[in-house]
Amino acid sequence: MATDGAQAGAAAPLKVLGRRLARVDARERVTGEARYPADLALPGMVHARMLRSPHAHARIRRIDTTRAEALKGVLAVVTAADFPELPVGTMIPMGETGYDMWMVAELNMARRKVCWVGQPVAAVAAVDVHVAEAALALIEVDYDLLPAVLDIEAALADGAPVLHEHVLTKGVEPRPKTPSNLCSRTVIGRGDTQAALGQARAKARASVRIDTAHQGYLEPQVVVAEVDANGFATVWASTQGQFTAELMIASMLGLPASKLKVVPLEVGGGFGGKIAIHGEAVAVRLAQRCRRPVKIVLSRDEVLQGGSGPAAAAMIDIEVGAGEDGRLVAIDGTYRMDAGGLPGLSPSLVMQASAALYQCPNLNLVGYDVVTNKPRTEAYRGPGGIQAAFAMEQAMDMLCERLGMDPLEFRKRNASVTGSTMPIGTPFPSIGLTTILDRVAEHSCWRDPLVKGNFPRGRGLALGYWRGTSMTSAGHITIAGDGRPMVTMGPVDISGTRTTMAQVVAEEFGLALEDVHIHTGDSKSVGYSDGAAGSRVARTATAALVEASRDALSQLRKRAAEKLQCAADQLDYAGGAFRARQAGGAAISLKELMAATLTDGAVIGRGVSTKLPLGVEIGAHVCDVEVDTETGLVTVLRYTAFQDVGLALNPAAVEGQIEGSVVQGLGWALSEGFDYGPDGRLRNASLLDYRMPTALDVPKIECVIVETPVPNVPYGVRGVGEVPIVPPGAAVANAIARATGVRMTRMPMTPERVLAALQG
């Protein structure tokens, strides 16, 4: 078979991939030209604001918008009554489970009741934001207050007020007939855990609680919507997935898909928080009503105070046991996840992730998804991973102490390898955990003794696993009149994807990076692609664009064969030119070929990836801390992240993902946590009081990249961005324990909490 382009996984040396190249979109970023939705101003554009619930739990008896509508400058007011009611179970496609539109609708406009402070109840479009704000104050909402449940225990208590009458716990047999706040129970198990724990030589138990944290993207959600004279709506949004957004908007409005397109602009950070829509459908409805383009910009207070989902709080108990030989015999885990005001993600992935890296014959993992009167939570980078690892990796560390074993040696002895059984019972595809652990053992971050400081210092080790997903990615390549590939990719770029994918196409075409032009298509100009989430994009978009490149080159090959008057399979392709194979054979460059055949019709190569193997992510982190025993302040002195990435498409981009992800994890570990008052209001809804790390709070993160290719994936690429946020909480906690002998059971580990723990 004549194959164009590089052979995926073949030994041919890579020319563009694997190199440390600057981002193709770096220039517009450093000059301020990169365009985010907030930068858009359309002729005649008006501004909208949302009225949000001041109550954590209340029935809406009546909403009167008459006075707001009468205010001069107000152009339209909408409430839930202006949207079709979507029953529970109105599903749209999304990954492996789909997405319930009832929840998306509630997230965007509450109907009949509110379940958290900040849930939208009405929206106003007006000539400017000041008028819109003034109008909000004129909307009268008659609330019937209900008692609220603000944490997992309160939500599960007997007689607790119930958020949703339709929630009958899934996963419990027989299925309950009365509603509760427990949405689902998930069990993963094998063997006899209780018996194994009973016979274990050493046991350890970690019972921890993790506060809600926020994705913390610096760009608040923004949408601009315009509806033309024929009713066609265009939505410019800060979104991780233009197709998911389109499905959600169309469903919320009852709009046919052919009457709508979503244009993704630059995304100023998403991390999972920009998968669902937050106001997009509302903006379109307002634009339909006032016949002017409508812009909604969320304030930072709205972003934090219930306008966009934070990550789940959790209560997790892990008990582990090992035999005389230091081999694990059992893991028993209970994972209670606080989903906020609407049912959340299944805890299954989190449960699997936390136990996946250990070979263990007896497993009993039980997960609970619980609703409370707090903002509906959303995905945040390896959703649930850091919470579960905070418990599991501390339990393992405590077990090492009981066994008198070195924590690295313990991990080596129990590490999952290629082919060992995953928690769900299937064998592990190719993984490089043992390689990672060997690299840790030989690295100075592990070997160098701790330098004495003014306060106790300790070194912590923690592992992280994230499964990721694949789903669908599409793309196409049009060959320009000068022979250069113009790439339209489906997935939104939130992690430098345009750069790495331009590298992929350059590699396939044998061209330089600067010869490839790339952009992300809108939802009507490229094939359906799922959102940029679950560490799926680099791998699946690579597969799609390898296919598209080869398709385009095969079309070009036919044209070249005609021009050079030889059989297509007698042509060699390299470096942007076809050459007849016989001695002294004629050659034609892509530029010459397109110049000669421009009027023969377009050359468009197409590619799609739908069911690519997973690219599971594994990391090991080593962290040195100093604990100020007078103030409780924990300083991270050194931090090294080891990660298997399959192939680093662009090592600088890979490091960027790892470093950023680790620092988000350190933020949650040490300072980021939502502080709710008894009324369900967030008390630290600002970036001063919600403390994300600054440049002064973290050291330079060192990265050690390991490359174990994933079989049957072009170039063997793995996911990268999610797993580095998983170990930091546990790595820091283990370091604190080794410095002070004190175990932290609550995250974030703020100075106040550390000091309290030190004082017993």
Partner 1 sequence: MKTLIDCTVNGEERSVLADTRDTLLDLLRDRLGLTGTKEGCGNGNCGTCTVLMDGAPVNACLVLALEAPGRDIATIEGLAQGGELDPLQQALVEHNGTQCGFCTPGILISAKALLDENPRPTEAQIRHAIAGNLCRCTGYGKIVEAIAAAAAARGR
- Point out which residues pair with 205 in neighbouring strands: 319
Q: For 162, phi and psi rounded to 5 degrees? A: -100, 130
- Pick 510 or 693: Cβ nearer partner 1: 693
Verify binding: residue 219, partner 1, rule CB under 8 A.
Answer: yes
Cβ proximity to partner 1: between 613 and 699 the closer is 699
Closer to partner 1 by CB, 322 or 494: give it.
494
- Nearest distance, CB of residue 720 and partner 1, angstroms: 13
- Segment contacting partner 1 (CB under 8 A): 267-275, 328-336, 535-543, 615-623? 267-275
What angle, 0 to 180 degrees and rounded to 10, lies between the N-to-C axes of helices 280-290 and 242-253? 50
Is 271 one of the binding residues for partner 1 (CB under 8 A)? yes
39 binds partner 1 (CB under 8 A): yes
> Considering only residues 630-689, where is the footprint of partner 1 by CB under 8 A?
652-653, 655-656, 659-664, 686-688
- Based on the shown chain and the rule CB under 8 A, indicate whether residue 61 belongs to the binding site for partner 1: no
Min separation Cβ 499 and partner 1, Å: 9
| Residues facing residue 226 across a β-bridge | 234
- Looking at the DSSP bridge assignments, the partners of residue 701 are 639
Nearer to partner 1, 31 or 454 (CB): 31
Query: Cβ 96 to partner 1, closest distance in Å?
Result: 27
Which of 1/695 has CB closer to partner 1?
Answer: 695
Q: Which is nearer to partner 1, 326 or 727 (CB)?
A: 727
Cα maximum dimension of the chain: 88
269 binding partner 1? (CB under 8 A): yes
Stretch that binds partner 1, among 70-78, 466-474, 696-704, 749-757 (CB under 8 A): 696-704
CB closer to partner 1, 20 vs 59: 20
Query: Residue with structure tokens 């590089």?
Result: 6
Q: Could you say which residues in the range 220-259 bind partner 1, by CB under 8 A?
A: 220
The Cα 574–Cα 75 span in angstroms is 60
Smaller CB separation from partner 1, 30 or 229: 30
Nearest-approach distance from CB 298 to partner 1, in angstroms = 11
In the complex with partner 1, the residue whose CB is nearer, 216 or 321, is 216
Return the number of the residue (297 or 545) whose C-beta is nearest partner 1.
297
Instruction: Name the residue among 380, 379, 305 with its Cα closest to residue 677.
Output: 305
Among 217, 243, 380, 674, binds partner 1 (CB under 8 A): 217
Question: Does the footprint of partner 1 cover residue 692 (CB under 8 A)?
Answer: yes
Hey, which residues between 477 and 506 contact partner 1 (CB under 8 A)? Answer: 494-496
Query: Residue 538 corresponds to which tokens in the numbers above?
Result: 């680099």
Q: Does 300 bind partner 1 (CB under 8 A)?
A: yes
- H or E element at residue 367: strand 362-370
Residue 178 binds partner 1 (CB under 8 A): no
Least Cβ distance, residue 29 to partner 1 (angstroms) = 4
Q: Measure the CA–CA gap between 500 and 702, rounded to whole angstroms.
A: 22
Toward partner 1, which CB reaches closer, 297 or 754?
Answer: 297
d(CA 678, CA 234): 42
Nearer to partner 1, 279 or 510 (CB): 279
Sign of the CA dihedral running 609, 615, 616, 621: negative
Interacting residues of 444 by C-beta distance below 8 A, sequence separation 6+: none
Segment contacting partner 1 by CB under 8 A, of 266-274, 370-378, 406-414, 601-609? 266-274
| Residue 587 makes contact with partner 1 by CB under 8 A | no
The answer for residues whose C-beta is within 8 angstroms of residue 16's C-beta and 6 or more apart is 503, 506, 507, 511, 512, 513
Burial, 189: exposed, middle or buried (Cβ in 10 Å; 0-12, 13-18, 19+)? middle
CB 378 within 8 A of CB 275: yes
Complex with partner 1: residue 396 or 653, whichever CB lies closer: 653
* In contact, 49 and 121? CB cutoff 8 Å: no
Options 100, 151, 211, 266; binder of partner 1; rule CB under 8 A: 266
Question: Edge-to-edge strand order for the sheet containing 58-64?
Answer: 113-114, 58-64, 140-145
What does the alpha-carbon distance between residue 358 and residue 322 come to, in Å, rounded to a whole number?
A: 12
Contact between 44 and partner 1 (CB under 8 A)? no
Q: Is 279 in the site for partner 1 (CB under 8 A)?
A: no
Spatial contact of 263 and 236, defined as CB atoms under 8 Å apart: yes
Strands 328-338 and 362-370, sheet pairing:
parallel
Name which position in 324, 452, 695, 759 contacts partner 1 (CB under 8 A).
Answer: 695
Residue 704 contacts partner 1 per CB under 8 A:
no
Q: Which is nearer to partner 1, 229 or 688 (CB)?
A: 688
Task: Write the DSSP assignment of 291-346 as a string of letters.
Answer: SS-EEEE--HHHIIIIIS--PPEEEEEEEEEE-TTS-EEEEEEEEEEE--SS----
Q: How far is the CB of 311 from partner 1 (least distance, A)?
A: 14
Q: How far is the CB of 381 from partner 1 (least distance, A)?
A: 10
Closest CA to 355 of 481, 567, 160, 189: 189
Query: Which class for 730: exposed (0-12), middle (13-18), buried (19 or more C-beta within 10 A)?
Result: buried
Sequence-ordered list of residues with C-beta below 8 angstroms from that of 163, at least 6 positions apart, any chain: 57, 115, 149, 155, 181, 341, 371, 372, 373
3-state secondary structure of 117: coil
Q: Does 748 bind partner 1 (CB under 8 A)?
A: no
- Nearest approach in angstroms of CB 651 to partner 1 is 10
- Total residues contacting partner 1 by CB under 8 A comes to 57
Q: Which of 258, 565, 599, 694 binds partner 1 (CB under 8 A)?
A: 694
Q: Which stretch binds partner 1 (CB under 8 A): 165-173, 212-220, 416-424, 440-448?
A: 212-220
Stretch of residues binding partner 1 (CB under 8 A), selected from 65-73, 75-83, 215-223, 512-520: 215-223
Question: What is the C-alpha end-to-end distance of the chain, expressed in Å?
Answer: 71
Given 1, 12, 41, 602, the residue binding partner 1 (CB under 8 A)? 41
Closest distance of CB 299 from partner 1, Å = 6
- Give residues 8-37 in contact with partner 1 (rule: CB under 8 A): 20, 22-23, 25-36
Q: Is 494 helix (H, G, I), strand (E, B) or coil?
A: coil
Looking at the Cβ atoms of 392 and 494, the one nearer to partner 1 is: 494
Give the shortest CB-692-to-partner 1 separation in angstroms: 6
> Exactly one of 104, 197, 267, 636 binds partner 1 (CB under 8 A); which one?
267
User: How far is residue 729's CA from residue 81's CA, in Å, rounded to a whole number?
Assistant: 44
Residues of this chain, 115-154, that bind partner 1 according to CB under 8 A: 130
Pairing of strands 74-79, 120-126: antiparallel
Helices (H), 415-536: 433-442, 444-447, 497-509
Sign for the CA dihedral angle at 90, 92, 98, 100 comes to negative
* Closer Cβ to partner 1, 20 or 112, answer by number: 20
Both structure tokens of 421: 């059984």
For 157, 555, 597, the CA distances from 586, given in Å and listed in that order, are 81, 19, 17
Closer by beta carbon to partner 1, 218 or else 602: 218
Copy the structure tokens of residue 402. Answer: 């009981």
Binding site for partner 1 (CB under 8 A): 20, 22-23, 25-36, 38-39, 41, 130, 215-220, 266-269, 271, 297, 299-300, 494-496, 652-653, 655-656, 659-664, 686-688, 692-696, 698, 700-701
